[in-house]
Structure 1
Amino acid sequence: MVEAPDRLAERLGRFDALAVAVSGGVDSMTLATFAHRLGRPSVMVIHAVSPAVPQEATERVRALATAEGWQSVVTGAGEFDDPRYRDNPANRCYFCKTNLYDRIRDLTPHVIASGANLDDLGDYRPGLLAAAERDVVHPFVEAEMTKADVRSLARRLGLADIAELAAQPCLASRVETGIAIDAADLAFVESTERRLAASADRGATLRCRITHDGVALELGDDALPRRAELEKIVTALCAESGRRFAGTRAYSRGSMFVRP
């Protein structure tokens, strides 16, 4: 049986050059590292910054780019200039990825690659439509690799810290559908989650959500032992910023999407 890394290498070997869209998460960072170390295709790494991208993700990309010797570009995707994105409809991700991939196409003629894996195909992912419209390729999907396979590959590449990164979708995913995306809200979410993470067990699942009822704290089972402490942090931060704390509830993936 052909192992996942061999399948991935075979799929990547079809290309002379790739532009890998790297968010700073485990999938895209692992893909960029693996493709770059192959030596062929030629790899350009593109990282887009915006109020929806955590600063630590950008710092992670810059650090690995230096360590690996990537040809990398940090750019703005421009999604905040798009009112369709800021209005935050259920398919907001479509407009985000539309702006991202169009920006990458302005920068390079290379085939664009994403870090999507097989598990992503089971989610509601409007961004995949934008990718399909722009002929973006998904090497992990083509190599039939799941999230677990990607983490395993990251460990084989010596990227132990990246392999253990928790899922961390963009900050706009914390905002309930229909609430306009606002840079100040995203900055609040980022700073709050950073404070929460510093007080929780390493890797604990927690989210600060902007909802129609106010700021909600979502905790996974691994964060519940520190619930009282975490609630106290969010309550104080809400009071400082004039926001309403809407309470704590169980973590639910994608809970801010209100689908048509």
Structure 2
Amino acid sequence: MIFKKEKLNKCLTEYLQKGLILALSGGVDSALLLAVVAQFPIEQRQRFLAITFETILYPEDEIKTAKSLCQSYLVEHCPVKPEDEIPVAIKHNPKDRCYRCKKNLFKQVLILAQNRGYSYIMDGTNADDLKSYRPGRQALMELGIKSPLADCGFTKTEIRTYAAELGLTLADKPSGSCYATRLPYGAELNKDLISKIAELEEFLRGFGLSQVRVRYHQPIVRIELMPAEFPLFLKQREQALQKAEELGFAYLTLDMAGFRSGSMDIDLLAPYLYL
């Protein structure tokens, strides 16, 4: 991994010379980029800032994590909010939702970069992501967004290892995703419904579960967990049912296939693997 680290440092050195913006999500990939840049001498990172998209489609805890990381590393942080909470282009969760959403959000970052005189924008896409179904990746390529972790060949496992070496507490943090992935394509993205899904997921995480996805197929809620944690969930089954009922969900089911990132993409995945 030494060669990859050296290549990454070379890329970042080039980007920092002309001004660099990092799209910081609160996940381990972009957090690693932040930590690596923070190691550069302060005179080399005078023109560096991090942005985080603040939208109801992104978990609130990830937004808070991004802000906290920037405070820890003394990096300027700028929130970027979409003009509409749920843009019309993705209101009914189209199959190219991720492409449309990324295009819309990063266009705003491009405007920020132009206003600040920054030449580069980067995100935390990694080498493993290139093997998966990621329609938003096309939007990033069209807008010229850099993905140095992918370009340098860093896999998710290597990123976690490197993050641990740099003392990042979220090195083992489970991967997250936007709340639009909790609904089938064609379903209306509704602020109230998304808030309820987020609340139920947060409640279930309180059981000590490492990964939780609340997928809603009206009127059925399908819970995805790591199979090894099924017994832990079932011990607290009554609490889960009560919470779901309080939120207005009539049916609560446990998906016996377990947690699968991208499980709403079954009809679209071939020849890709689950994320």
With 235-244 and 176-185 compared, the bigger mean Cα shift is at: 235-244
Residues 211, 256 of structure 1: 8 Å contact kept = no
Q: Distance in 1 between matches of 2:61 and 2:38?
A: 22
Residues 79, 99 of structure 1: 8 Å contact kept = no
Q: Distance in 2 between matches of 1:63 and 1:251?
A: 28
Give the residue type in structure 2 aligned to 1:138: S
1:237 to partner: Cα distance: 2.3
Structure 1 229/183 Cα, relative in aligned 2: closer, same or farther at 3 Å? farther
1:83 to partner: Cα distance: 1.5
TM-score with structure 1 length normalisation?
0.92
TM-score with structure 2 length normalisation?
0.87
The yes-or-no answer on 1:195 pairing with 2:211 is no
Q: Secondary structure at the match of 1:47?
A: strand
2:77 aligns with 72
Residues 207, 233 of structure 2: 8 Å contact kept = no
1:233 aligns with 239
The two structures, once aligned, show a CA RMSD in angstroms of 1.9
Counterpart mapping for 1:89-168 below 5 A: 89-109=94-114, 110=118, 111-159=120-168, 161-168=169-176
Q: Secondary structure at the match of 2:14?
A: coil
With 165-174 and 35-44 compared, the bigger mean Cα shift is at: 35-44
1:14 to partner: Cα distance: 2.0
Q: Distance in 1 between matches of 2:137 and 2:61?
A: 25
Q: Distance in 1 between matches of 2:82 and 2:237?
A: 34
Q: Secondary structure at the match of 1:19?
A: strand
1:12 aligns with 12
Q: Deviations over 1:77-128 (max 9, x none)?
A: 3463521212101111111101110111121232110100001011111111
Q: Secondary structure at the match of 1:72?
A: strand
Residue 230 of structure 2: which of 224, 236, 241 is its match? 224
Give the residue type in structure 2 aligned to 1:7: K
Q: Deviations over 1:192-212 (max 9, x none)?
A: 1111111124xx222111124
Give the residue type in structure 1 aligned to 2:217: T
Runs of 5+ consecutive residues of structure 1 not aligned to the other structure: none
Runs of 5+ consecutive residues of structure 2 not aligned to the other structure: 269-275
Residues 241, 252 of structure 2: 8 Å contact kept = no
Identity of aligned residues (%): 25
Residues 175, 211 of structure 1: 8 Å contact kept = yes
1:259 to partner: Cα distance: 4.2
Residues 244, 252 of structure 2: 8 Å contact kept = no
Q: Distance in 2 between matches of 1:214 and 1:34?
A: 44
Residues 20, 49 of structure 2: 8 Å contact kept = yes
Q: Secondary structure at the match of 1:44?
A: strand
Residue 26 of structure 1: which of 21, 25, 28 is its match? 28
Residue 254 of structure 1: which of 237, 262, 266 is its match? 262
Q: How many residues align?
A: 257
The yes-or-no answer on 1:172 pairing with 2:183 is no
2:272 aligns with none
1:208 aligns with 214
Give the residue type in structure 2 aligned to 1:217: I
Q: Distance in 2 between matches of 1:254 and 1:147?
A: 17
Q: Distance in 1 between matches of 2:84 and 2:138?
A: 16
Q: Distance in 2 between matches of 1:257 and 1:246?
A: 21
Q: Distance in 1 between matches of 2:172 and 2:25?
A: 16
